[in-house]
């Protein structure tokens, strides 16, 4: 059965809430409480989770740890993922220093830049390689995910090179809508879209019932 990608996109949010609940020592959770925490309806929660089998017990809700383990397994969060970073300017350095990746199983294992002054530098455990050697380097030491932190103009050629290197999941921080072949997943970190959906509510002077955080 094909699972809609909007459902897949919500699963990491469910996993995060369940992780919080587990840390708070809560053992069971109802679809009502999950829904309240995520600003979605309990019916939506039950429908989303029904794609993956029967987790809940009638009238008792979900076992937090069991559902969390199951979601982690489904999402592939029970393993480590290797990432390669292209672009080691200000943004790339901020990404290298981002504390949120490694606790979640995402590790940057290689970095590339085109600037002669940056190539060869060591940042933490990572040595910056020449982006001209990207394909050779990634064939020798593959990564699962490419992170693109170059300028808008350079983003598409860099993404093309990552795809030629066999990378099939790319996170693009450049402020440009890039293209990738159908077998490649390309996600964009786009703060402007987040800002633009806030301005609606600023302009209209209210906050709606359900703004995802």
Residues 84-113 that bind its own copies (CB under 8 A): 89-91, 93-95, 97-101, 104, 106
The string over 147-167, giving b where at least 16 C-beta atoms fall within 10 Å of a residue's C-beta and e elsewhere, is bbbbeeebbbebbebbbebeb
- Cβ closest to its own copies, residue 4 vs residue 120: 4
Site for its own copies in 185-204 (CB under 8 A): 185-204
Contact between 8 and its own copies by CB under 8 A: the answer reads: yes
> Contact between 132 and its own copies (CB under 8 A)?
no
Q: CB of 207: closest distance to its own copies in angstroms? A: 6
Location of structure tokens 């919080």? 20
**Stretch 23-82 residues interacting with its own copies (CB under 8 A):** 74-77, 81
Any idea what DSSP says for residue 105? T
12 binds its own copies (CB under 8 A): yes
Residues near 44 by beta carbon (within 8 Å), at least 6 away in sequence: 35
Structure tokens at 179: 């293209």
Minimum CB–partner distance for residue 66 and its own copies (Å): 19
Task: State the Cα–Cα distance between residues 179 and 184, nearest whole angstrom.
Answer: 10
**Smallest gap from residue 59 Cβ to its own copies (A):** 29
Residue 127 makes contact with its own copies by CB under 8 A: no
Q: Is 2 exposed, middle or buried (0-12, 13-18, 19+ CB in 10 A)?
A: exposed
Applying CB under 8 A, which of residues 120, 157, 166, 175 lies at the interface with its own copies?
Answer: 175
């Amino acid at each position: 059965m094909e699972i809609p990608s909007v459902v897949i996109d919500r699963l990491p949010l469910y996993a995060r809430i369940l992780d919080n609940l587990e840390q708070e020592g809560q053992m069971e959770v109802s679809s009502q409480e999950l829904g309240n925490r995520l600003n979605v309806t309990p019916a939506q929660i039950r429908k989303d989770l029904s794609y993956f089998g029967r987790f809940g017990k009638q009238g008792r809700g979900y076992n937090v740890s069991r559902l969390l383990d199951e979601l982690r397994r489904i999402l592939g969060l029970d393993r480590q993922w290797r990432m390669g970073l292209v672009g080691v300017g200000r943004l790339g350095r901020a990404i290298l220093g981002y504390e949120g990746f490694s606790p979640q199983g995402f590790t940057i294992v290689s970095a590339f830049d085109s600037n002669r002054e940056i190539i060869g530098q060591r940042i933490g455990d990572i040595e910056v390689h020449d982006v001209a050697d990207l394909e050779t380097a990634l064939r020798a030491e593959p990564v699962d995910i490419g992170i693109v932190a170059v300028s808008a103009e350079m983003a598409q050629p860099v993404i093309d090179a990552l795809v030629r290197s066999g990378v099939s999941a790319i996170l693009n921080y450049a402020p440009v809508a890039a293209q990738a072949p159908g077998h490649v997943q390309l996600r964009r970190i786009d703060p402007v879209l987040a800002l633009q959906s806030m301005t609606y509510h600023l302009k209209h002077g209210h906050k709606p019932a359900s703004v995802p955080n």
